[in-house]
Structures are given as C-alpha cells and as structure tokens.
Structure 1
Amino acid sequence: MLDILKRINELAHKKKNEGLTEIEMEEMNRLRKMYLEIFRGSMQELLLNTTVVDPEGADVTPKKLRTEQARNRKKAIWST
C-alpha cells in the first residue's frame, strides 16, 4: 500500500509542476481507486472488530454493527 501511495504522490507532484500525459492520468486514477479499496477494506475490518462499551462497562454496540459482525464471523479451522 505504501508503494501505491508513494506513486500517487509522485504523479500528483508531477501534475502540479509539469502536467501529466493521458497514460499517467489513467495510472493515477487506477492507483487512487486501488488505494481507496484497500483503505475502505481496512476500515471495514476495523469496524467489524469493534465493540462499543458505555462508562458502566455494558456492551452498547449498535444492533446494525452486531448483525454485520455476526454475518461476517468465520468458523475457526480447529472447530468442528
């Protein structure tokens, strides 16, 4: 992911100073889409592993999130 971000920044800098060719613009757009897909996937994983707890220690995770967590829960390989 860092390589993608580095290349996006290189292209953005070149765009600002010199301008980009059509091929470079396409590459930049493709890399941005890839970066956003990775970022969104990472955020989704973070949310699916989050529990909301109130000051008294009670689980107050929203029902919608709990439902999504249950749907995405995977069966452990060691269980039968």
Structure 2
Amino acid sequence: MDIDVIIARINELARKKKEVGLTAEEVVERDELRQVYLGNIRRNFRQQLETIEWVEDAENEQKGNA
C-alpha cells in the first residue's frame, strides 16, 4: 500500500475520532495502519544509518595503511 494513502487514511480516521468517534473496526484499522507507517519510518531510517560512512574510521584506516 502506498504510504501517501496510508497517511491520508490515518488522518481521516483522526478527524473522524475527534468529530464522532470510531467504531471498534476503525480503531483496529487505525492501529494497523499506524504500525505499517512506523515500520516504514524505521526501515527508511535504518537504511539511512547503513549508508553513513564514518570519516574517522576512513582516516584511521588510511593512517594504518601508510
């Protein structure tokens, strides 16, 4: 499912909760969508962390090879 669609549905459910409340099914749907959204954020963050190159480590390796 597209993340934009997930966010739109989460926001729709949030507005509905403020206005009239949610049914039990909608609460379950909201919680599931939140988990998908958070999983996506965690996965993207982890990917960003994995691409970080530590400059100190590279400098130390070069000094050790010299």
Q: Residue type matched to 1:25 in 2? A: V
Deviation string for 1:5-47 (max 9, x for gaps)? Answer: 1100000010011100000000000000000001100000011
Instruction: Give the total of aligned pairs.
Output: 55
1:60 aligns with 2:56: yes
- Which of 18, 24, 28 matches 1:22? 24
Among the aligned pairs, what percent are the same residue? 38
The equivalent residue for 1:45 is 47
**Structure 2 CA distance for aligned equivalents of residues 32 and 42 of structure 1:** 15
TM normalised by structure 2 equals 0.78
Alignment gaps of 5+ in structure 2: 58-66
TM normalised by structure 1 equals 0.65
**Structure 2 CA distance for aligned equivalents of residues 50 and 17 of structure 1:** 44
Regions of 4+ moved over 2 Å: none
Larger RCO (CA within 8 A; separation ≥ 6): 2
SS in structure 1 of the partner of residue 40 of structure 2: helix
